[in-house]
Amino acid sequence: MILDFTTRSLLRLLAYYVVLVAGTFVLAQHSSVVRDAVSFEVPVGVTPRQLRQSVEIGAVAEERATVAATTALAMLGALKKTTKPAR
């Protein structure tokens, strides 16, 4: 079966996304830094309606943005240290 360029690109993009999500789940189980970056704690006493409103507004995302950015930068630094420069 021969696929056209667009279909191959979309399938490749889907495969990358699946690997990214699966890798995040695996890393979250083994690394507290990644777990903190991809999850958030629900404060005690918050109703589902209040939680939905805060997520829609983005208040929770703003609080976690610093941790997520730090984790992303740390992961980027780790990748740079493990890769060899091209000659």
Look at residue 48 in the predicted model and tell me its pLDDT.
Answer: 81
List Cβ neighbours of 15 (8 Å cut-off, separation of 6 or more).
Answer: none
Q: Does residue 25 have a pLDDT over 80?
A: yes
Domain segments of the chain as ranges: 5-80
Q: What's the CA gap between 61 and 3, in Å, rounded?
A: 39
Q: Over the stretch 38-72, which tens digit does the pLDDT of each residue have?
A: 776 767 787 888 777 776 776 555 666 666 677 77
Residue 3 to residues 7, 18, 30, Cα–Cα distance (Å) = 6, 20, 38
Look at residue 37 in the predicted model and tell me its pLDDT.
Answer: 75
pTM of structure: 0.43
Q: Does residue 74 have a pLDDT over 60?
A: yes
Look at residue 15 in the predicted model and tell me its pLDDT.
Answer: 93
